[in-house]
Amino acid sequence: MGFFSQHAGNQGKHAVTTVVAQGCTVNGSLRLSCDMQVDGYVEGKIVSEKTLVISGTGRIKGELTADKVIINGLFEGDCFANSVEILPQGKAHGVIHCDDLSIERGGSFIGKTMPTSSEQVI
């Protein structure tokens, strides 16, 4: 399908992901209603209604609120989520507000965990 075909616009509605590419830096606040993948560096506040993935090259420093967070890079700050997974290369430093936290062998977490409250998480 080409960019100008009649059905090209319909394909993107089901699988939209915002990507901060490796080598890119974002400072500020982001509010998303789609999935997000961070391969670069983000400093600030992120609010996502869906899943946020920090890849092996990704770094986030600040406050993060999402339905699900998957960390395979570095996260520093406060995280509010329904579910958090720290993968083997993942490192998290700070406070995680979550009732469903998993850390795979090799992953590290330095900080503290707190239960979620309904006002904090999407």
Give residue 16's pLDDT: 84
Is the C-alpha dihedral spanning 49, 31, 52, 80 positive or negative? negative
Give residue 116's pLDDT: 81
Encoded tokens for 121:
């998480």
pLDDT tens readout for residues 40-80 = 999 999 999 999 999 999 999 999 999 999 999 999 999 99
pTM of the model: 0.83
Residue 7 has pLDDT above 90, yes or no: no
Q: What are phi and psi of 9, to 5 degrees?
A: -70, -30
